Structure 1
Amino acid sequence: MPIYEYQCKACGHELEAIQKISDDPLKECPACGDLELTKLISAAGFRLKGGGWYETDFKGGKDKKKNLAGEGAAKTEAKPAAADAS
């Protein structure tokens, strides 16, 4: 579910709210009670819920290889051997 940022025009209070995309925007400020909340434009954050999400699912490049056993060691050993043969 997306995490939206809001700011109150009356008192300046800022908050984040986890809402469905189909939910109506919040209007009432929890700090002052005025109906002056506006949704801020920002990079959308989201939360992954449920089982099956692992640390390595969303890594790319070098970061993904850090968790694979033995792969990093094999590559570092292969490079010096190839340099010695030249």
Structure 2
Amino acid sequence: MPIYEFQCNACGHRFDRLQKLSDPDPSTCPSCGAPQVQRQLSAPQFRLAGGGWYETDFKKDGDKKRNLAGDGATSKPAESAPAPAPAPAPSTSSGSSD
């Protein structure tokens, strides 16, 4: 079951609630009792990491597996490139031609 985040528009109280997709959202704030509760958009609490999902993860062993995340899904250490040479400082000449 997903965890949803809610906020009361009257008092600003924020709270989380574990509920089914089919459950109705709470209508009153548990802190002040005002009927001004609104669901908030929030980031998921997990991250999928690794080589990615394979198209044939649940197919027969003889089938070829193909990475659905693409070629860039595998994480490789970054290659270090040589640092560029610093740019020459602009010359300031004190001579003036009149």
TM-score by length of 2: 0.45
* Contact in 2 for aligned 1:27/1:36 (Cα 8 Å): yes
Identify the residue that residue 34 of structure 1 maps to in structure 2.
34
Between the two proteins, what is the percent identity of the paired residues? 48
Where do residues 37-48 of structure 1 align in structure 2 (5 Å cutoff)?
Answer: 37-45=37-45
Identify the residue that residue 16 of structure 1 maps to in structure 2.
16
Runs of 4+ in 1 over 6 A off after TM superposition: none
Identify the residue that residue 63 of structure 2 maps to in structure 1.
none
Q: CA offsets, 1:50-77, max 9 Å, x none?
A: xxxxxxxx7626xxxxxxxxxxxxxxxx
Q: C-alpha distance in 2, partners of 1:6/1:59?
A: 28
Cα deviation, residue 44, structure 1: 3.8
Q: C-alpha distance in 1, partners of 2:49/2:45?
A: 17
> Gaps (5+ residues) in structure 2?
52-98
Identify the residue that residue 89 of structure 2 maps to in structure 1.
none
Q: C-alpha distance in 1, partners of 2:42/2:36?
A: 19
CA RMSD of aligned residues (A): 1.9
Which structure's CA Rg is the greater one? 2
* Contact in 2 for aligned 1:3/1:45 (Cα 8 Å): no
TM-score by length of 1: 0.51
Change (3 A) 1:2 1:18: same
Q: Point out the structure with the larger strand share.
A: 1
Q: C-alpha distance in 2, partners of 1:41/1:16?
A: 12
